[in-house]
Amino acid sequence: MTELAGPHTGGRQQAAARMADVMPQGRADVTGVICSARAMSIAGTPACRYTLTDGTGELDLLFLGRVEISGLRCGRRCRAVGTVGKRDDRLVLWNPRYWLEPAGAPPDVLVVDDDMAVRRVLEVNLAARGYHVDVAATGAAAIELARREPGFVILDIGLPDMSGVAAISAIRAECDAPIIVISAEEAVATRAAALAAGASDYLSKPFAMDTLLAKVR
């Protein structure tokens, strides 16, 4: 269970239920990562919807009379408590109470990949399992974020602004975090250069998410 605190709590509390176990017509207390957000209208009333996932399922947070909730955005980890209903065959918490994980905490994992789809998949899967996640699309951005001293780095060796080997060396100069290289490049020389520059492990694309998560753990 994960403790979250925020401006709506009046204190610290614990969240428990897996989304896969949530049933309609009851109350739910869930924690996950926001994976989508949109403004909408319900029967002429402005509303906004945020979809929360914890890796076992999804739950929509629906706020009537609002077009946006400050602080709620994709990638943020959130706890929500409220009454469960259904809308369009999806489970919904209507106007739930919510708590955001502090945004200023150092990330547990820094994800570096120039492919937005890969970054998103890694971010959602890691955050849903309780990791703080920071992301970068370039080597320069990764080096800057490495100064926050993440606990772990996942890096695609094919970066748009510099060689992955140079990025590994520069990140290693900023922090001591283990670095897992992910790459479609399987050449032995590339693997050897990455490990020599300071990488801790090398995982070839495509890879199973469970394999990567096991290495992070």
Residue 197 has pLDDT above 60, yes or no: yes
Which contiguous run of DSSP H or E holds residue 38?
strand 27-42
Are 52 and 80 in the same domain? yes
| DSSP-derived secondary structure for 156-188 | ESB-SSSBHHHHHHHHHHH----EEEEES---H
Residue 58 has pLDDT above 80, yes or no: yes
Are 67 and 125 in the same domain? no
pLDDT tens readout for residues 137-157: 999 999 988 888 888 899 999
Are 46 and 117 in the same domain? no
Parent domain of 21: 2-100
Tell me how far apart the alpha carbons of residues 176 and 152 are, in angstroms, rounded to a whole number: 9
CATH number at residue 118: 3.40.50.2300
Residue 1 has pLDDT above 50, yes or no: no
Please give the pLDDT value at position 112: 94
Are 16 and 114 in the same domain? no
Choosing from 71, 100, 129, the residue where a domain stops is 100
Residue 11 has pLDDT above 70, yes or no: no
CATH number at residue 82: 2.40.50.140
Please say whether the beta carbons of 25 and 84 come within 8 A. Answer: yes
Q: Which of 15-24, 43-52, 96-105, 192-201 is predicted least confidently?
A: 15-24
CB atoms within 10 A of CB 63: 19
Please give the pLDDT value at position 166: 95
User: How many domains does one find in the chain?
Assistant: 2
Are 138 and 209 in the same domain? yes
Q: What is the mean pLDDT of the chain?
A: 83
Single pTM value for the model: 0.57
